[in-house]
Every structure is written in C-alpha cells, then in structure tokens.
Chains A and B, each alone.
Chain A
Amino acid sequence: MQLTRRDLLVMGSVGMGATLMGALPAIASLTDDEIAKITGGADVSEGDLAITAPEIAENGNTVPIEVTAPGAVMVAIFADGNPVPNVASVKFGPMNPSRSASTRIRLAKTQNVVAIAQMEDGSFQKATSNVKVTIGGCGG
C-alpha cells in the first residue's frame, strides 16, 4: 500500500490526539496527589469557598488572586499546569473574621487554579478558576 498525503495527515492527527490524551491525565494527577495528601482521601464538596482570579493574565509572573472561605481554617492553593503544583497554604487564626486573603502568584501557562479549603468541622471544599496566560511565568 502506498501512503498518500491524506493518509499521512490522518495518521498525524490521530497520533497528536493520542499524545495529548496521554499527557493531560499525568499533569492532573500531580495536583490530585497533592490534594489527596491534604484531604487524606475524604470527600471534597463545592461550597462557599470562592477563588477570584482574572480570566486572562497578560503576565504569568504576577497573577493577582484572592480566596474567600467563610468558616475555613486552612486554604491550600494549587496551579495544575506549573512544574510544582503547590502555590501556597494559608492558615487563618482566630483574629481573622472574613477568612479571605489575596496575593500574587506565578503561572507557567494557561491552566486551572485550584483552592482546597479545610473547614472548621473537618470537611473539605474545592473551587477552581481557569486563567489564560499570554506570557508564562516560570523558567525562561
């Protein structure tokens, strides 16, 4: 059988698809591993936890984000597309009424920013925000 240009194109796109499918779960699992370390496999629900991040960040070196978690004792922030997914973990003391904090983070590329909150009763909540990054913030 002789390979035509059309055959090659089809094979190429199938190959690309397979590579992408293979690569994506690997990245996601790195973040999932870190989340599992915190929760210990407990159920994670959606709740009052909110993460505020820009939809499009022009510069990945400083992306302003804010987490608000009423009733939380601890909030951990992850970026699933960074070489190291951990970003920060914030413990709130008794003097903090709103349980909110904002900071600036580095994002290597367009990705999800994930926040996991540990509530006062020991349960966990999760919030995700997608950020499009035009210039990456890691390496270079």
Chain B
Amino acid sequence: MASGVKPRVKVPKSAAAGETIVIKTLISHKMESGQRKDGDGNVIPRSIINRFTADFNGQNVIDVTLEPAISTNPYFQFESTVPEAGEFKFTWYDDDGSVYETAKKISVS
C-alpha cells in the first residue's frame, strides 16, 4: 500500500532544556493482517508497517517492531527528553519496502 499513507506527528514547538515532552504519532495505513479472507475465500495478503523509529539529533528515542496485531492507522505515544534544540526524525518501514519519513524541529527556550 503505497497510496494514501500520511504520517501525522504532534511535537511541541519549544521546550525548556532537559524537559520531558510527550510525542504523539499516527500514520494512516490499513495494516492488512494476512488473516482475513475476501469474498471468494482467498486470504488477503499481509501488508503492514513492520517497524517504526524515532530519533532526536541522531540519538534513538524509540524503536518499535510491529506485528499484524497492531491496529489500523498505527498510533504511538511516548516521551522524550530535549537536552538541546534540534530535530525529531520519524521513520516508518512498510512491508512493500516503502519508507515514510517526517521530521519536526523543536527549539529550546
């Protein structure tokens, strides 16, 4: 599924140095589990996002391996410290080889 995939990420625009912030991410993806069957009884092939990573200035925050039991439109909420101004980079890896990326800048006040 290469069409209609849209990552959405919520990161605060600024934070105090060393503060812990909450990040919410969601990517629209149907996450076909490979367990369902179509009207003719044929198994619909699996098509999911199998990995999600978040990094801040090159340092890893979270690295998730996803299985078919993750719901449609995979949603993740997690925390991160912000020691300095920089950029969060989010990457999703699809079963079909596609990689979806998005980045958010954060400033330190």
Contacts and interface: CB of A to CB of B under 8 A. Distances in A.
Q: Do A and B come from one complex?
A: yes
Interface of A: 61-63, 66, 79, 82-84, 86-98, 100-107, 137-140
Given A62-B72, A105-B70, A91 B63 contact: yes
Interface string B12-45: 0000000010000000000001011100000000
A102 B65 contact: no
A86 B34 CA distance: 14
A87 B48 CA distance: 12
B98 interface: no
Q: Is the interface of B mostly helix, strand, loop or mixed?
A: strand
Contacts of A93: 55, 59-63
A88 B33 CA distance: 13
Contacts of A86: 67, 69
A97 B61 CA distance: 9
B71 to A, nearest CB: 4
Given A88-B69, A106-B69, A95 B77 contact: no
Contacts of A137: 71
A109 to B, nearest CB: 13
A89 B76 contact: no
Contacts of A84: 35, 67-69
